[in-house]
Protein backbone atom coordinates (compact mmCIF):
# COMPACT_ATOMS: atom_id res chain seq x y z
CA UNK A 1 0.00 0.00 0.00
CA UNK A 2 1.37 3.31 -0.98
CA UNK A 3 1.01 6.41 1.12
CA UNK A 4 -2.57 7.43 1.46
CA UNK A 5 -4.43 10.61 1.03
CA UNK A 6 -7.15 11.63 3.41
CA UNK A 7 -9.81 10.33 1.04
CA UNK A 8 -8.13 7.00 0.66
CA UNK A 9 -7.87 6.58 4.40
CA UNK A 10 -11.55 7.33 4.83
CA UNK A 11 -12.48 4.88 2.12
CA UNK A 12 -10.33 2.20 3.66
CA UNK A 13 -11.95 2.79 7.02
CA UNK A 14 -15.46 2.43 5.62
CA UNK A 15 -14.57 -0.79 3.84
CA UNK A 16 -13.01 -2.28 6.92
CA UNK A 17 -15.90 -1.20 9.11
CA UNK A 18 -18.35 -2.99 6.88
CA UNK A 19 -16.27 -6.11 6.88
CA UNK A 20 -16.20 -6.13 10.62
CA UNK A 21 -19.87 -5.34 10.95
CA UNK A 22 -20.80 -8.25 8.75
CA UNK A 23 -18.39 -10.35 10.69
CA UNK A 24 -17.74 -11.77 7.31
CA UNK A 25 -14.07 -11.86 6.89
CA UNK A 26 -13.32 -13.31 3.49
CA UNK A 27 -16.40 -15.48 3.62
CA UNK A 28 -15.78 -16.76 7.10
CA UNK A 29 -18.43 -16.09 9.68
CA UNK A 30 -16.83 -17.24 12.90
CA UNK A 31 -13.99 -15.42 14.60
CA UNK A 32 -11.71 -16.74 17.28
CA UNK A 33 -9.58 -14.06 18.91
CA UNK A 34 -6.71 -15.11 21.08
CA UNK A 35 -5.29 -12.82 23.75
CA UNK A 36 -1.64 -12.53 22.86
CA UNK A 37 -0.20 -10.01 25.23
CA UNK A 38 2.94 -10.95 27.13
CA UNK A 39 0.66 -12.36 29.83
CA UNK A 40 -1.34 -14.48 27.40
CA UNK A 41 1.73 -15.78 25.64
CA UNK A 42 3.42 -16.59 28.93
CA UNK A 43 0.37 -18.59 29.98
CA UNK A 44 0.36 -20.58 26.74
CA UNK A 45 -1.34 -18.33 24.20
CA UNK A 46 0.87 -19.49 21.37
CA UNK A 47 0.11 -23.14 22.11
CA UNK A 48 -3.59 -22.32 22.03
CA UNK A 49 -3.21 -20.50 18.74
CA UNK A 50 -1.39 -23.47 17.24
CA UNK A 51 -4.01 -25.86 18.63
CA UNK A 52 -6.83 -23.93 17.03
CA UNK A 53 -5.10 -23.79 13.68
CA UNK A 54 -4.19 -27.47 13.59
CA UNK A 55 -7.55 -28.59 14.97
CA UNK A 56 -9.48 -26.54 12.41
CA UNK A 57 -7.32 -27.87 9.63
CA UNK A 58 -7.68 -31.43 10.87
CA UNK A 59 -11.44 -31.18 10.79
CA UNK A 60 -11.48 -29.20 7.58
CA UNK A 61 -13.50 -26.40 9.16
CA UNK A 62 -13.06 -23.39 6.92
CA UNK A 63 -15.58 -20.83 8.13
CA UNK A 64 -13.43 -19.79 11.10
CA UNK A 65 -10.86 -17.03 11.16
CA UNK A 66 -8.33 -17.06 13.97
CA UNK A 67 -6.77 -13.74 14.95
CA UNK A 68 -4.72 -12.37 17.79
CA UNK A 69 -5.27 -9.40 20.01
CA UNK A 70 -3.66 -7.79 23.03
CA UNK A 71 -4.34 -8.41 26.69
CA UNK A 72 -8.03 -8.66 27.54
CA UNK A 73 -7.27 -7.87 31.14
CA UNK A 74 -8.36 -11.19 32.61
CA UNK A 75 -4.93 -12.09 33.78
CA UNK A 76 -6.07 -14.60 36.34
CA UNK A 77 -7.54 -16.93 33.71
CA UNK A 78 -5.02 -16.63 30.88
CA UNK A 79 -4.85 -17.80 28.17
CA UNK A 80 -8.07 -16.15 27.09
CA UNK A 81 -9.98 -16.61 23.85
CA UNK A 82 -12.94 -14.71 22.53
CA UNK A 83 -15.31 -16.57 20.24
CA UNK A 84 -17.68 -14.68 18.00
CA UNK A 85 -19.96 -17.06 16.15
CA UNK A 86 -23.27 -16.54 14.35
CA UNK A 87 -26.34 -16.99 16.54
CA UNK A 88 -24.19 -17.00 19.65
CA UNK A 89 -23.37 -14.21 22.07
CA UNK A 90 -19.71 -13.21 21.98
CA UNK A 91 -18.01 -14.86 24.88
CA UNK A 92 -14.60 -14.95 26.48
CA UNK A 93 -13.19 -18.29 27.49
CA UNK A 94 -10.44 -18.48 30.05
CA UNK A 95 -7.90 -21.06 31.17
CA UNK A 96 -7.87 -22.43 27.67
CA UNK A 97 -5.55 -25.27 26.79
CA UNK A 98 -5.36 -27.77 23.95
CA UNK A 99 -8.20 -29.88 25.34
CA UNK A 100 -10.41 -26.83 25.84
CA UNK A 101 -9.61 -25.81 22.27
CA UNK A 102 -11.09 -29.09 21.07
CA UNK A 103 -14.18 -28.53 23.20
CA UNK A 104 -14.63 -24.97 21.94
CA UNK A 105 -14.58 -26.22 18.37
CA UNK A 106 -16.78 -29.21 19.13
CA UNK A 107 -19.30 -27.57 21.36
CA UNK A 108 -19.29 -23.86 20.54
CA UNK A 109 -18.32 -23.59 16.88
CA UNK A 110 -19.92 -26.77 15.65
CA UNK A 111 -22.51 -27.55 18.30
CA UNK A 112 -23.60 -23.97 19.03
CA UNK A 113 -23.44 -24.57 22.75
CA UNK A 114 -21.22 -22.65 25.12
CA UNK A 115 -18.44 -24.38 26.98
CA UNK A 116 -19.84 -23.07 30.21
CA UNK A 117 -17.17 -24.12 32.66
CA UNK A 118 -14.68 -21.99 30.78
CA UNK A 119 -16.84 -18.95 30.22
CA UNK A 120 -15.25 -16.13 32.11
CA UNK A 121 -16.97 -13.10 30.77
CA UNK A 122 -18.63 -11.54 27.91
CA UNK A 123 -16.61 -8.85 26.24
CA UNK A 124 -16.59 -5.47 27.83
CA UNK A 125 -18.70 -2.60 26.66
CA UNK A 126 -17.16 -0.85 23.71
CA UNK A 127 -16.90 2.91 23.77
CA UNK A 128 -16.15 3.01 20.07
CA UNK A 129 -19.33 1.17 19.03
CA UNK A 130 -21.67 2.00 21.87
CA UNK A 131 -20.72 5.62 21.92
CA UNK A 132 -19.60 5.30 25.48
CA UNK A 133 -23.03 4.97 27.03
CA UNK A 134 -22.68 4.52 30.69
Partner 1 sequence: MAFRNYILVCGGTACESSKAGAIYDALVAECRAQGVSQDVQVVKTGCFGFCEQGPIVKVLPEDSFYVQVKPEDAKEIVSEHIVKGREVRRLLYDKDSSKKHAKVEDIKFYQKQFRIVLRNCGFIDPENIDEYIAREGYVALEKTLFDMTPDDVINELKIAGLRGRGGAGFPTWMKWNFTKQVEADEKYIVCNADEGDPGAYMDRSTLEGDPHSVLEAMTIAGHTVGARQGFIYIRAEYPLAIHRLEVAMKQSREYGLLGKNILGSGFDFDIEIRLGAGAFVCGEETALLASIEGRRGMPVPRPPFPAVRGLWGKPTVINNVETWANIPVIILKGGPWFERIGTPDSHGTKVFALTGKIRNSGLVEVPMGTTLREIIYDVGGGIAHDKEFKAVQTGGPSGGVITKDYLDTPIDFGSLTKLGSMMGSGGMIVMDEDDCIVDVAKFYLNFTVDESCGKCAPCRIGGRSLANILDKITKGNGTLEDLDKMEEIGGAMKKASLCALGQTAPNPILSTVYYFKDEYLAHIVEKRCPAGKCKSLITYSINTEKCIGCTACARKCPVQAITGERRAPHTIDPALCIKCGICLETCKFGAVEVR
Q: Which residues bind partner 1 (CB under 8 A)?
A: 1-6, 9-10, 12-13, 16-17, 19-20, 33, 35-39, 41, 67-76, 80, 82, 87-90, 107-108, 111-117, 119-129, 132, 134
Q: How far apart are CB 21 and partner 1 at their closest, in Å?
A: 8
- Judge whether 113 and 107 are in contact, CB under 8 Å: yes
Q: Which is nearer to partner 1, 60 or 133 (CB)?
A: 133
SS3 label, residue 107:
helix
The whole-angstrom separation of Cα 83 and Cα 30 is: 8
Q: How far apart are CB 29 and partner 1 at their closest, in Å?
A: 13
The whole-angstrom separation of Cα 126 and Cα 66 is: 21
Q: How far apart are CB 73 and partner 1 at their closest, in Å?
A: 4
Q: Which is nearer to partner 1, 56 or 83 (CB)?
A: 83
* Sequence-separated (6 or more) residues with CB below 8 Å from residue 126: none
Amino acid sequence: MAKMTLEELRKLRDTKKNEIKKRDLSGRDTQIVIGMGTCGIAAGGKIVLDAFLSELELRKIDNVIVTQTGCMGLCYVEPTVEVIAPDMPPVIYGKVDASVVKRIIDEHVVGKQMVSDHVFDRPSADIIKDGGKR
